Amino acid sequence: MELTKKGHSCVRLAKDGAVLVVDPGGYSEEDAAVGADVLLVTHEHPDHFDEGRLRAALDANPAAELWTLRSVAEQVAAAFPGRVHTVGEGDVITAAGFEVEVHGQLHAVIHPDIPRITNVGYVVDGAVFHPGDALTVPERDVETLLVPVMAPWNKVSEVIDYVRAVAPRRAVDIHNGLLADVAWGLYDRMLGPDGPGVGGADHIRLDRGASLTL
């Protein structure tokens, strides 16, 4: 399986001619989801869910389908009958040759005064976990953890402890669209071998458009 880093929290996974895209939001490329057979969205915030990007992908491929939580599904389901599916924690789906497990329930706390919304994460083929905007620890081993490294709701100590808790083989940065170039070295150091330590996981930062074979 090949993982391609797109803008911010969007990733593409490809295998055997099929493509799965997670979280093509407003900070990702306009065509980030085009070409997908399977679309997954973790929650309704605009940096993860952009209706225009989803519609472009669903229009481009009449066989493409979307799995997401109810708040997102309700916004696009009417336009694509039978192709938009609602999922929640504990669900397992198979689509275009990918097996997807759903983990998690709520978005991380941004501030106590801001109500928490639903957020789900996805384990793809038992190997790659995209948690969305949460530090969900799935009750299973995962080889590759997609790590939300910078957000209004987290700090680097929490990120380090999260990687330790999940204990993946590799940790790949996502949710980094708000970072200036000057910050890259700091985050690489904190999450890499010169930092406090992330439990032995290899820390990988992919440039936008770069790929990694899993």
Is 117 part of any domain?
Answer: yes
Specify the pLDDT at position 67: 98
pTM of the model: 0.97
Q: How many CA atoms lie within 13 A of 40 on its CB side?
A: 33
CA distance linking residue 117 with residue 11, whole number of Å: 22
Spatial contact of 131 and 104, defined as CB atoms under 8 Å apart: yes
Specify the pLDDT at position 146: 98
Domain ranges, residue 12: 2-206
Is 45 part of any domain?
Answer: yes
What φ, ψ does residue 112 adopt, rounded to 5°? -55, -25
CA distance linking residue 179 with residue 143, whole number of Å: 26
Is 32 part of any domain?
Answer: yes
Specify the pLDDT at position 201: 96
Specify the pLDDT at position 173: 97
Specify the pLDDT at position 56: 96
Q: Look at the chain and report how many structural domains it folds into.
A: 1
Is 212 part of any domain?
Answer: no
Closest by CA to 142, choosing from 130, 128, 131, is 128
Amino acid, single-letter form, for residue 126: G
CA distance linking residue 61 with residue 134, whole number of Å: 30
Return the CATH number at 136.
3.60.15.10
For the chain (length 214 residues), average pLDDT per consecutive 10? 98 98 97 97 98 97 97 96 97 97 98 97 98 97 97 96 97 96 92 92 96 96
Is 31 part of any domain?
Answer: yes
Is 47 part of any domain?
Answer: yes
Is 211 part of any domain?
Answer: no
Amino acid, single-letter form, for residue 77: A
Is 213 part of any domain?
Answer: no
